[in-house]
Amino acid sequence: MTQPSQPNPVPAIRILGRMGSPLGYMIRDFLYRSEVPFEWVELVDDEDARTRAGVSGLRDSRLPVCLFPDGTRLECPTIRQITEHLGWFREPSQREYDLAIYGAGPAGLSAAVYGASDGLVTVLVERSAVGGQAGSSSKIENYLGFPEGISGAELAERAREQACKFGAEILIGREGVRGEFQPGKVIGYLADGRTIVARTTICATGVDYRQLGLPNEDRFLGAGVYYGAGASEASLCGESDDVYVVGGGNSAGQAALHFSRVARDVNMIVRGESLHSSLSRYLLDRINSASNVHVFTNCEVTALEGDEILERITVTNRQTGESQTCATHWLFVCIGGEPRTAWAEEVGIVRDAAGYLVTGPDLLRDNQLPPGWPLDRNPYYLETNMPGVFAAGDVRHGSVKRCASAVGEGAMAVAFVHRYLAGV
Ligand SMILES: Cc1cc2nc3c(=O)[nH]c(=O)nc-3n(C[C@H](O)[C@H](O)[C@H](O)COP(=O)(O)OP(=O)(O)OC[C@H]3O[C@@H](n4cnc5c(N)ncnc54)[C@H](O)[C@@H]3O)c2cc1C
């Protein structure tokens, strides 16, 4: 069940679309995170759309158009159609796996490398691009072994290659939506109706970006409002643009510094009193010495306005109540994430109040095993209250929210998978 490496298509895929196209952003983000070279061609008016993209005008629903190096033209494609055309979309090859992993962020990729290299018949299911949150980082500088830093996309691509080398099967563009437990196996249901049967499961689905919760927010998603560091967008941002980054944590700090190289000014909107408690020292020092990065503490974004794309935001000082309107097409929201684990509740997997999966010793109450736990032993450290079902990385209650710890938990979870399969 070895799987060929992803092709490295050169020259680039050309994507032709209009400014502020949410689908255009989704495609750019997917290709950027997948390390596929692409060129974004922004169509300026109807005439440009007719001559360059062969459509009737800027409002034509066939936009964006993707032109592949082999001459294929896809109009208004879904991410799945793109993965299919890249040759990455495949059916599960096995009726039953030893190990099914959901989520190909650092935790899931690590579990795939260790599972497959240990000889387990392993499948890794990812709903989007490999890399997870880390894949959207322009540069990870504190990951062991990369003193100059490494882009999240490159780290993910290296891990993907490594997992494939050991024979892990990676199903990209597939989303796990439901689970069913039968003696000795779990059946995972995918959004497209396929099922994955496995003797053990690792849930490594991380967190989804938290939203601001403002009116119009969904409307501007990909058209001025972006979640995460938006690394794919930096090349589109011009030196006369003002960028706004919401959040005071490391991902916000990274995003601010990344955009400071291309934008006129970068403004960090921070709810807290200062960045000292929320930001790593190396990022804080760089932000303090970047002349075009400005930090607005005790502030929050309270309104989003625009016609087709974001034109203005309102920033309000939480202490004085004063508001200011700022013109911008670029708002990056880096305010952490929330786990999406409703499926777990449906099947009786214990979650904490915020939805994180509870594992190992955290399942014990007054030294008592969780209700319904069927075995003589205690749950292993990363095991949920369902024997053979493990959680690793950011989705786990009490996790550290770092690449290295997610990678470590992915590897550890595989060690517990072996113990479970050996019945010890
Ligand atoms: C912009 C940014 C910069 C960061 N920089 C650093 C840094 O410099 N150093 C550091 O240590 N940490 C950094 N972090 C934190 C680090 O990236 C995370 O802690 C880490 O990615 C968590 O890994 P994970 O595998 O647990 O989850 P995630 O990275 O969240 O990956 C989860 C994956 O699961 C997939 N998924 C979700 N649901 C399903 C489903 N139902 N079916 C299939 N797939 C699913 C998602 O699409 C995703 O790919 C950064 C985070 C961000 C957002």
Q: Which tens digits make up the pLDDT trace of 258-291?
A: 999 999 999 999 999 999 888 999 999 999 999 9
283 three-class SS: helix
What pLDDT score was predicted for residue 6? 53
Distance CA 330, CA 313 (A): 10
Distance CA 378, CA 373 (A): 9
- Please identify, by atom number, the ligand 1 atom nearest to the C-alpha of residue 231: 1
- The reported pTM is 0.94
For ligand 1, the distance from its centroid to the CA atom of residue 104, given in whole angstroms, is 8
Nearest CA to ligand 1 atom 22: 394
Tokens describing residue 77: 């494609």
Distance CA 180, CA 206 (A): 21
- Please identify, by atom number, the ligand 1 atom nearest to the C-alpha of residue 190: 42
How distant, in Å, are the alpha carbons of 253, 303, 317 from that of 331?
14, 12, 17
For ligand 1, the distance from its centroid to the CA atom of residue 112, given in whole angstroms, is 15
Task: Please check whether residue 395 is in contact with residue 356, taking contact to mean a CB–CB distance below 8 angstroms.
Answer: yes
Task: Please check whether residue 331 is in contact with residue 244, taking contact to mean a CB–CB distance below 8 angstroms.
Answer: yes
Distance CA 123, CA 115 (A): 9
pLDDT means per 10 residues in the chain (424 residues)? Answer: 47 93 95 94 96 96 97 96 92 97 98 98 96 92 95 95 98 95 94 97 97 96 90 85 96 94 96 91 95 97 96 98 97 95 94 97 94 95 97 97 97 98 88
- Is 133 touching ligand 1 by the criterion CB < 6 Å? yes
What pLDDT score was predicted for residue 1? 37
Ligand 1 probe mutation, 139, 233, 403, 407, most atoms within 8 A of CB? 403
Nearest CA to ligand 1 atom 30: 206
C-alpha radius of gyration, the chain, whole number: 22
Phi then psi for residue 292, to 5 deg, are -105, 15
For ligand 1, the distance from its centroid to the CA atom of residue 110, given in whole angstroms, is 12
Going by C-alpha positions, the residue among 38, 35, 39, 40 that lies closest to residue 6 is 35
Block residue for tokens 């690590």: 110
User: For the segment 336-346, what is each residue's pLDDT rounded down to a tens digit?
Assistant: 999 999 999 99
Give kind and range of the element (H or E) at residue 416.
helix 403-422
CB count, 10 Å around CB of 389?
A: 25
How distant, in Å, are the alpha carbons of 223, 266, 318 from that of 332?
11, 10, 20
For ligand 1, the distance from its centroid to the CA atom of residue 25, given in whole angstroms, is 19
What pLDDT score was predicted for residue 424? 67
